[in-house]
């Protein structure tokens, strides 16, 4: 379906139609993952932006010929496979690497830059949230989603409806989103100081990339996967024979 970017367009809808708009949303500070169901007008009002000027800026990044995001047309099983292979794999690789970078710049620059102490603490909290969260998805929720997707009936899960673990994941997404906003604040929008070394700059660039990737990761779950699973579970329940 053709999507036109205007004040009534939901942020999540815009990203699914034009994935490259994530760059503009990140730059403008518009939350398209946890806040993806807000309209552009609503999001601009919350961020103190002029909606008309913002829509004009977004139009620059909006190509005329685009087929939309690939994840929108995936099955539930394909989407969880994609999430694990793309976003989970990226974070499992990056978290130890970036932790080592943070430790290094604290050791080298910490005396001159005491603000690195709260930065390091915030990074640790972000990673402490993301690790167990992904583990629960990989070991519990995603296998159940694959089972549901492969079934023609209504599987029985220990948690009852999948809406229960999904509600937990949504809450955890909100929490890590708040931590990422705090990290952006304490790093001054990931801006290294003038006397920062190459490692300092590389560390802050890596943190900015983790934030952007996690926003897209959460968007795909909150606004695409989870609604798809809820619909699928309801359809399977209707189709299942009476017990």
Residue range 138-158: mean pLDDT, rounded: 91
Distances (CA, A) of 96 to 43, 110, 169, 240: 34, 20, 23, 45
DSSP state of 70: G
Q: Identify the DSSP state of 87.
A: I
Q: Given pLDDT bands bounded at 50, 70 and 90, which one contains residue 65?
A: very low
Average pLDDT over residues 108-131: 96
| Helix/strand/coil for 39 | strand
pLDDT of residue 230: 95
What integer is the mean pLDDT of 22-37? 93
Choose the weakest-confidence range: 121-135, 148-162, 197-211: 148-162
Q: What is the mean pLDDT of residues 17-36?
A: 92
Confidence of residue 156 (pLDDT cuts 50, 70, 90): confident
Q: pLDDT confidence of 240, banded at 50, 70, 90?
A: low
Residues in the chain: 243
């Amino acid at each position: 379906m053709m999507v036109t970017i205007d004040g009534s367009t939901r942020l999540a809808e815009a990203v699914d139609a034009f994935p490259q708009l994530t760059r503009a949303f990140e730059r403008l500070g518009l939350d398209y993952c946890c806040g993806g169901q807000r309209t552009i007008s609503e999001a601009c009002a919350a961020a103190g932006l002029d909606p008309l000027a913002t829509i004009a800026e977004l139009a620059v990044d909006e190509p005329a010929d685009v087929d939309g995001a690939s994840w929108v047309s995936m099955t539930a099983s394909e989407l969880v496979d994609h999430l694990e292979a793309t976003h989970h794999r990226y974070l499992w690789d990056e978290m130890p690497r970036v932790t080592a970078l943070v430790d290094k710049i604290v050791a080298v620059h910490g005396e001159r830059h005491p603000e690195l102490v709260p930065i390091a603490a915030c990074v640790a909290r972000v990673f402490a949230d993301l690790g167990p969260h992904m583990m629960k998805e990989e070991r519990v929720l995603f296998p159940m989603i694959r089972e549901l997707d492969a079934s023609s009936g209504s599987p029985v899960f220990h948690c009852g409806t999948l809406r229960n673990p999904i509600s937990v994941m949504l809450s955890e997404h909100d929490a890590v989103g708040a931590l990422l906003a705090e990290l952006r604040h304490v790093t001054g929008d990931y801006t290294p100081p003038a006397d920062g070394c190459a490692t300092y700059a590389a560390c802050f660039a890596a943190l900015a990339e983790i934030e952007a990737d996690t926003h897209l990761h959460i968007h795909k779950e909150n606004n695409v996967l989870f609604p798809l699973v809820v619909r699928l579970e309801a359809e399977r329940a209707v189709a299942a024979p009476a017990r």
